[in-house]
Chains A and B, each alone.
Chain A
Amino acid sequence: MGGQACVFYGAAEFSRDTDLALLASSENLARLNEALSELKAEVIAVPPFEAKYLRKGHAVHFRCHHAEAIGMRIDVMSKMRGVDSFQRLWPRRTTISVGKTPVDLMSLPDLVQAKKTQRDKDWPMLRRLVEVNYFANRKKPTREQIRFWFLELRTPELLVELVSARKGLPAVIIRKRPLLKLVRDGNESAIAAALDDEEKLEREADREYWKPLKRELESLRHSRSSQTKD
Chain B
Amino acid sequence: MISPEELVGEEWAEWYRLSPLERWRESEKLWELYFHFGGSLDIESDTQSPFFDSRTPSTRSANGRPGVRVLRRGRV
Contacts and interface: CB of A to CB of B under 8 A. Distances in A.
B7 A72 contact: no
B49 A119 contact: yes
The CB with the most chain B CB atoms within 10 A, among A12, A118, A138, is that of A12
Nearest to B50: A210
A131 B16 contact: yes
Contact of B24 (A59, A96, A128, A131): A96
A119 B46 contact: yes
B42 A71 contact: yes
A71 B42 CA distance: 5
B27 A4 contact: yes
B63 interface: no
Main secondary structure of the interface of A (DSSP, over half): mixed
A214 B42 CA distance: 23
Contacts, number: 85
Contact of A73 (B2, B30, B41, B50): B41
B40 A135 contact: no
B18 to A, nearest CB: 8
A136 B50 CA distance: 34
B19 to A, nearest CB: 9
Contacts of B7: 131, 155, 157-158
Contacts of A136: 16
B27 to A, nearest CB: 4
Interface in A19-39: none
Contacts of B46: 119, 121
Contacts of B21: 8, 96
B30 A8 contact: no
Contact of B2 (A7, A72, A161): A161
Interface in A175-214: 206, 210, 213-214
Contacts of B57: 44
B55 A73 contact: no
A70 interface: yes
A98 B28 CA distance: 11
B2 A61 contact: no
B2 A158 contact: yes
Contacts of A63: 59
A138 B51 contact: no
Interface of B: 1-2, 4, 7-8, 12, 15-16, 20-21, 23-24, 27, 30, 34, 40-43, 46, 48-51, 53, 55-57, 59
